[in-house]
Amino acid sequence: MKIKTIAIIAVAIAVAAAVVAVVYTGRGAAATEGVEADEAAKVAVAQPVKGDAKNGSRKASAKAGRMPGGTNVKKQAMPRPRVTTDERDDLTPEEKRQMTAIEEAMDEENLEKLRAILPAAAASKNTEIRSELVDGLGWFGKKAMNELLQFMADPDEDIRESAVDNWTSALSEIEDDKTRADIVESAMMVVTDENALDSMTSELTGIDEKLALQAIINVVESGKAPPEAAAAAREEYEFITGEEYTNVDDANKWMSENYSSPEAEGESGKE
């Protein structure tokens, strides 16, 4: 009788232990699945958004979180924040009107609409408006390069840098070396900011050296370029040739000695 009782108790203990093991195993699996789900969610949020504004509309790219000069990183699937709102009490009625016009021009991809607000917005004392205007011009790429030049003299350093970044980015859209050299030459005739001029001369290193050097000589000899631009051009000339700039005759002589003329190349080809 005692033996049967002991056997029954032993069986009951074994069953209870098995039940407890099953319960804890289930809880452990559920916890593991929860952790894995949390990690997967974190990875999903951190994934970058692929794509380029050139392959789609600029407006669609903006809504994906891409800003001029920035990276294509998803920002919680939120559209580019609108800065024009009646609830903002830090803007005057005129500033709200300007902000609204800038935003509408960007949303509609209407450069002419942006140009219409340009004089008043560019003269605004509110740096946020001028900054928004520069970013707006940047979305239009090479079509708005001339308008970006004036912001390279803006009193705000961040706006100047943004204008330069947007301008050089737009220049990269142009493939023809002669056209690029002509654009840089024209821009240097009106720009005085040293950082902007440094960026412009740096852009010349990526094109045909003869065209780049001719553009530099034209700036120096124009008599119209600001002193800062002429100095930057002379420095670039020395960088390319290894010689200090003296006068146009010496510069042309250096070019004739170091670059073959089209006529000479043609004669060489006949031989």
What are the pLDDT digits (tens) for 150-173? Answer: 999 999 999 999 999 999 999 999
Q: What is the 3-class SS of the chain, one letter each residue?
A: CHHHHHHHHHHHHHHHHHHHHHHHHHHHHHHHHHHHHHHHHHHHHHCECCCCHHHCCHHHHHHCCCCCCCCCECCCCCCCCCCCCCCCCCCCHHHHHHHHHHHHHHHCCCHHHHHHHHHHHHCCCCHHHHHHHHHHHHHCHHHHHHHHHHHHHCCCHHHHHHHHHHHHHHHCCCCCHHHHHHHHHHHHCCCCCHHHHHHHHHHHCCCCHHHHHHHHHHHHHHCCCCHHHHHHHHHHHHHHHCCCCCCHHHHHHHHHHHCCCHHHHHHHHHC
Q: Give the type of residue at 212.
A: A
Q: Is the pTM of this model over 0.75?
A: no
Which phi and psi (to 5°) does residue 73 adopt? Answer: -110, 130
User: For the CA atoms of the chain, what is the radius of gyration?
Assistant: 33
What is the pLDDT at residue 93?
Answer: 87
Q: What residue type is 105 in one-letter code? A: A
Q: What is the pLDDT of residues 208-260, one digit of tens each?
A: 999 999 999 999 999 999 999 999 999 999 999 999 999 999 999 999 999 87
Q: What is the C-alpha to C-alpha distance for residues 77 and 65, in angstroms, rounded to an integer? A: 8
pLDDT tens digits, 17-52: 554 444 444 444 444 444 444 444 443 433 333 333
Q: Tell me the residue length of the chain.
A: 271
CA torsion sign, 223 to 224 to 228 to 232? Answer: negative
The torsion defined by the Cα of 242, 247, 252 and 253, in degrees rounded to 10, comes to -70
